[in-house]
Structure 1
Amino acid sequence: MVYALTAFSSQFLTRKDPIVDFQENPKTLILERCKTSKELNQVHAHLIKTRRLHHPAVAEPLLESAALVLPYPAIDYAVSIFRKLENPDSSAYNVMIRGFNKRQSPEKSLLLFRQMVEHSVRPDVFTFPSVLKACSKLRALREGEQIHAHIVKLIDRFGCKEFVENSLLYMYACCDRLELARQVFDGMSERSPIAWNSMFAGYVRCGYWAEVVELFQSMLKMGIEFNEVTLITVLTACGKIGDLELGNWIYEYVLANGLMGNDNLITSLVDMYGKCGCVDTARSLFDNMSTRDVVAWSAMISGYSHSNRCKEALALFHDMQKANVEPNEVTMVSVLSSCAFLGALQTGKWVHSYIKKKNLKLTINLGTTLVDFYAKCGCPDRAIEVFKEAPYKNVWTWTALIQGLASNGRGKSALEFFNMMRQEKVEPNDVTFIGVLAACSHAGLVDEGWGYFFSMSRDFGIEPRIEHYGCVVDMLGRAGMIEEAYEFIKNMPIKPNAVIWRTLLASCRVHKLVEIGEEALKHALRLEPAHSGDYILLSNLYASVGRSDDAARLRDEMKTHGIKKSPGCSYIELDGIIHEFLAEDDKHPESQEIYNAIENTMAQIKLAGYVPDKAQARLEAEGDDREASVSHHSEKLAIAFGLIRTSPGATIRVTKNLRICTDCHNAARVTSKVFCREIVVRDRSRFHHFKDGSCSCNDFW
């Protein structure tokens, strides 16, 4: 680093009334007298007249007043004083180095230290912490290592080595050289809480959360005292790695030592419990806080979002607004993630408008979350717009868009953006390739998919994970290459999981290949015996080829083994309110009107060719109840509510927690044509955009 210090001209004011003589130690008098720039000028003029300016005991406090004490540091004025000193000592250099640090000019601090060495002025114990602080701010590792060499030569002469060592440790931590920071830390003869916290801060900076916990455990074993700053850091690490046991220990410590009044500490506990899935414990702590700042609100909202209790997250966000607490970036990310999970498009749009209105900085994290939100609400075009408008992008922003386009059936667009990503020299990661392979699957691009799959390890050094193998199985199954998919699974270098076999089973259902479907079910049940979806897939496969007895037998097996189908749940947002429906639900305040709408809808779409699939009815339903049961699935209730509560032609958007069943898929497809509506259904796997009697998934999902 090469920098230049500039000489600044100064004008000195003269004082009409005489200034009293300075005492032998004039520091206190100078600092007390120089409260403003005008008084500093007058004292400076007096010192020039009396020829005392070059005395170190006088020069140092004058510099300190100019560079550090005045409300608005007159650093340029301090430079002009310093440059006129005949032989500035280490104290004068120290003041100027501290002044440049305070003025956010750490590069000038380093230049001044270099000048100090060149002029053979020996640094003292106060020099190195200040110049190392400049290195920390600049992350100037090379200069920091050179200063370390000076320290090694001189450290035995210092009376307080720990002060210097703490600064050295912090410098290496800021430069992400934690192995060097740890060497300094381990070599310290005495370690104060400051040294421990500097080491903790370094690990936190680099995201080494397990090392934070390990270091704290060592601290406990050695009986080292810790403070509340330490606990806050360790609680953050506990939340990141899910160490609930240590988090509980800290909570008990806080209770036993009367620390419940520390709101920052309680906020960290709220955050830890939220991230560890103990949301109710977090809420209890949150509710009992005396004051709640934006960090506390954000931690609690994030806890709900992290645990997929997204309706509660949005409800708490509304409470936060009522409390007149301004949200920050963390709040917005959690709220948008909750909106994405629920498909709450209108609420998310309001949040986006709020971000614009308040001129919140569109960071990488916030921009990526917005792209993900629009994609997960079935608005791929809006996701593209937000992506293009985002001022900052990283691999996760590109990945969010690629995955979003793939899940919305826009495979070719997803691949176009992947190619653009490569042109921008952004390296894809393993998650990016999940989106790319899914895009190939949705677009039926088998050859291209194989190319990308082999390119992962060959060109990018990314070893395929189980998810990538699953994408290939899905891609082959979609293309009707069931036998190839089966052989691919058998030859995988890693053991296939239940999801792999379930993916193959789903393909067999679509292409009506019973034999391989039965084999897939055996493997899936061996790995996850109680998964109801596997039974239902094969049951539907039997029913589709006319083997109704086998379908019934399989469902009887589910009863015998006590396996119950996971309850389907669908959400629809209207006027900012999330409405939730379960199959055959009658708890909604407008249930009667909804069921009347269902009857009307079913009657009209039957005239257009829809035939109810009674095999999709609940197991215990019999006779005419089977058709009624099918018509009362949660997504049909949500769609019916959308039909009666939105204006003609408006898009209906529904989010389902499970995979949409065959009957509901057929019903939605015909409904879109009969009622001239676009219906967007997001299920557990992907989006279905129904329009004019067809679906974006081409009837394979």
Structure 2
Amino acid sequence: MILPRNLISLSQTKQAHARIIVSGLAGKASLMGHLLSFLAIFPSSPFDYSLSIYRTIKNPNVFSSNNMIRCFAKSESPLQSLVLYSCVLRNCVRPNNYSFTFLLQACSKGLGVYEGVQVHGHVLKLGFGEDVYVRNALIHLYSSCRRVESSKQVFDESPHHCDVVTWNVMLAGFARDGRVSAVEKLFDEMPERDVISWNTLLMAYVHNGKLEEALECFKRMRESGLVPDEATLVIMLSASAQLSLLENGQSIHSIIDSLNLPMTISIGTALVDMYAKCGRIEQSRLLFENMPRRDVSTWNVMICGLASHGLGKDALTLFKTFLNEGLHPMNVTFVGVLNACSRAGLVKEGKHYFQMMTDSYGIEPEMEHYGCMVDLLGRAGLVSEAIKVIESMTISPDPVLWAIVLCACRIHGLAELGEKIGNRLIELDPTYDGHYVQLASIYANSRKWEDVARVRRLMTERNTSKVAGWSMIEAQGKVHRFVAGDREHEQSLEIQKMLEVIDTRLAAAGYVPNISPVLHDIGEEEKQNAIKVHSERLAIAFGLLVTGPGSCFRIVKNLRVCWDCHEVTKMITNSV
């Protein structure tokens, strides 16, 4: 009985090698070539072992040499395969299409575009330019090396020598380059699409922030009759997580269950992340605890999820368990740990873990780690310490760090320092609207309306407009988006009536509007009316309209919630 290659283990291959030697057949080049072919397909076969076998072959033919090139392509030094290829040519062995496929794979892994160009020259010289497998490898090479125009040139040269893989490789090249419109155009032109084609389009949307387009694309994929694979579902869980769309995430979870897919690390980690980002931290925890296998990324997602929910002490307890399991933390792990300290106001612990990161694990702080420390100290009112952290950084500070300090100045009423930092930030990056808004807010809190007007004039003169805030809610199987003062929704009249009901009940509960977020020198009544139609209040009113008593609905916002809307949301939550 001959076992399929994918069922033969490395140890079985070594046993076969031993039997060949004992039988006195080690000199048979064909046997050694087939032995190499088995080693070439193993994901982690010892490279030195493969090379030692190849060196025993006298006058290796193209089959043996191709398999050795393939072994080189998987090794830590993939570009060394070109040295072997040169030896093959010197020994007058003519390469075939497989030779170039494996050579180009090696160049792709080693990002050897110049070496790949030389191989491309040999491809054309020896007449393999229209071989579909070689063409696919060439397109992949140029895409991997960010030469997408070269990929497109190869793709266009022989349009009749393409298969679905050719189209998919070109599609992936455009996606890797962030050219979403090119991905869409090519996808529409494809004569045949498989799951990989759809996954590439979905990934292009998700990686470039076009999340709602990804949801619509997935819907079209399902309507086409294709069954999603693990990669599809992980991508869509990521989209649901980033949009905080719980219902959509739950529907993806139900598809996973209906397909009887195993709880792999990828699926489990994506589910843990989705439920955490959609506000279901207990469900996230339950999934994490029940996963059959977890890797460092799974632990990172859970630690970060607990941190984002303000469960700082729980996140730190989980981190200690992580260390007790013998796992080694990464940069991202400490971002989660330091964020947990920041959200929970654990200043002493934050300083301890920041020191541990460098002293115990040799991890050099990156911008995200410094950002967490500056945020931690700023939230705690230790603004001077936060500034010292920035000034002592071993890398050039990002303006975002100073923006965090500016926010702390606004919160703690440090108007003079905030004015100084705000003006400095505007000089550093005059195009970013957030700095103007924060500075204007500091002036407004001090009732310096002339300075507020000056900052707003600067924004106008420099063509810098404030990013429009929006709030989104998932209800009735659709995603509904609102902006401040929105009257475009089909149920706008009912929403306005619900807002009136909310205002009446808030007044009865003792609510007093906090109009400080309104950065205009206008009457108090006008300011109160402006706050009442903020996007999150419209979304809340709509949610109360369309959900039943006791139901839970979630609202996603692209900007920070203003203080007044934060207080109103708490009051509404406690009263329904």
Cα distance in 2 for partners of 1:606, 1:203 equals 69
Q: Could you tell me how far 1:278 is from its partner in structure 2?
A: 2.1
1:477-514 Cα deviation digits (max 9, x unpaired): 11111111122222222221111001111111111111
2 CA distance for matches of 1:419 and 1:464? 20
Q: CA 1:178–1:553 in structure 2 vs 1: closer, same or farther (change >3 Å)?
A: same
Choose the corresponding residue for 2:428, options 518, 527, 531: 527
Match of 2:17 among 113, 131, 143: 113
Does the alignment pair 1:216 with 2:116?
Answer: yes
Contact 1:101–1:109 (CA under 8 A) maintained in structure 2: no
Q: Return the alpha-carbon distance in structure 1 between the equivalents of residues 44 and 542 of structure 2.
A: 62
Q: Distance in 2 between matches of 1:140 and 1:300?
A: 31
Does residue 1:127 correspond to 2:27, yes or no? no
**Cα pair 1:231 1:250 within 8 Å, conserved:** no
Query: Taking structure 1 as the reference length, what is the TM-score of the superposition?
Result: 0.75
Q: Which residue in 2 is equivalent to 1:295?
A: 196
**More off after superposition, 276-285 vs 144-153:** 144-153
- How far apart in 1 are the matches of 2:520 and 2:169? 47
SS of the equivalent of 1:616 reads: coil
Distance in 2, Cα, partners of 1:350 & 1:265: 32
Considering only aligned residues, what root-mean-square deviation do their CA atoms show, in Å?
2.7
Name the CA distance, whole Å, in 2 between partners of 1:203 and 1:527.
41
- Please state if 1:266 is matched with 2:158: no
- Which amino acid is 1:596 matched to? K
SS of 1:194's equivalent? helix
Give identity over the alignment, percent.
30
Contact 1:128–1:164 under 8 Å retained in 2: yes
**1:368 and 2:272 aligned:** no
Match of 1:414 in 2: 315
Query: Unaligned 5+ residue runs, structure 1?
Result: 1-73, 76-98, 677-701
Does the 8 Å contact 1:498/1:523 carry over to 2? no
- Residue 450 (structure 1) shift: 0.9
User: 1:139: Cα distance to partner?
Assistant: 5.7
How many angstroms does 1:398 deviate by?
Answer: 0.8
Distance of 1:419 and 1:632 partners within structure 2: 45
- 47, 67, 88: which is aligned to 1:167? 67
Larger Rg: 1
* Correspondence for 2:506: 605
Match for residue 296 of structure 2?
395
Q: 1:372/1:247 Cα in 2 relative to 1: closer, same or farther (>3 Å)?
A: same
Distance 1:186 1:230 in 2: 19
The alpha-carbon distance between structure 1 residues 276 and 121, as it changes in their structure 2 partners (threshold 3 A), is: closer
How much has 1:623 moved relative to structure 2?
7.6
| CA shift for structure 1 position 240 | 6.0
In the alignment, which residue of structure 2 is the partner of 1:39?
none
Residue 615 of structure 1 and its aligned partner are, at CA, apart by 4.7
Following the alignment from structure 1 to structure 2, what is the Cα–Cα distance between the partners of residues 262 and 139? 26
Contact (CA 8 Å) 1:441, 1:478: kept in 2 or not? yes
CA contact (8 A) 2:142 2:151 kept: no
Q: Provide structure 2 residue ranges, at least 5 long, that are not aligned to the other structure.
A: none
Instruction: Select which of 144, 152, 170 maps to 1:251.
Output: 152
| Contact 2:34 2:64 (8 Å CA) reproduced | no
Residues 459-470 of structure 1 correspond to what in structure 2 (within 5 A)?
A: 459-470=360-371
Q: Give yes or no for contact 2:107–2:141 (8 Å, CA) kept in 1.
A: no
Structure 1 match to 2:543: 642
What does 1:216-235 align with in structure 2 at a 5 Å threshold? Answer: 216-220=116-120, 224=124, 225-226=128-129, 227-233=131-137, 235=139
Find the aligned partners of 2:102 and 2:502 in 1 and give their Cα distance: 66
User: Higher mean Cα deviation, 554-563 or 308-317?
Assistant: 554-563
Q: 1:598 to 1:235 in 2, by over 3 A?
A: farther
> What residue in structure 2 maps to residue 195 of structure 1?
99
TM-score by length of 2: 0.90
- Cα distance in 2 for partners of 1:529, 1:638 equals 33
Q: What is the SS of the residue equivalent to 2:226?
A: coil
Question: Counterpart in 2 of 1:152?
Answer: 55
- Contact 1:267–1:296 (CA<8 Å) still a contact in 2? yes
CA spacing shift, 1:119–1:294, aligned 2, 3 Å: closer
Counterpart of 2:219?
318
Distance 1:292 1:266 in 2: 9
Aligned-partner Cα distance in 2 for 1:319–1:397: 30
Q: How many Å separate the matches in 2 of 1:363 and 1:236?
A: 28
Compare 232-241 and 587-596 and name the one that shifted more: 232-241
- 1:333 is matched with which residue? 234
Q: How do residues 406-485 of structure 1 correspond to structure 2 at under 5 angstroms?
A: 406-485=307-386
Query: Quick check: 483-492 or 221-230, which moved more?
Result: 221-230
Cα displacement string for residues 505-539 of structure 1 (whole angstroms, at most 9, x for unaligned residues): 11111111112212321332233212221122222
1:566 counterpart (452, 467, 472): 467
Q: How does 1:484-495 map to 2 (within 5 A)?
A: 484-495=385-396
CA distance in 2, matches of 1:188, 1:651: 68
Equivalent residue for 1:279?
180
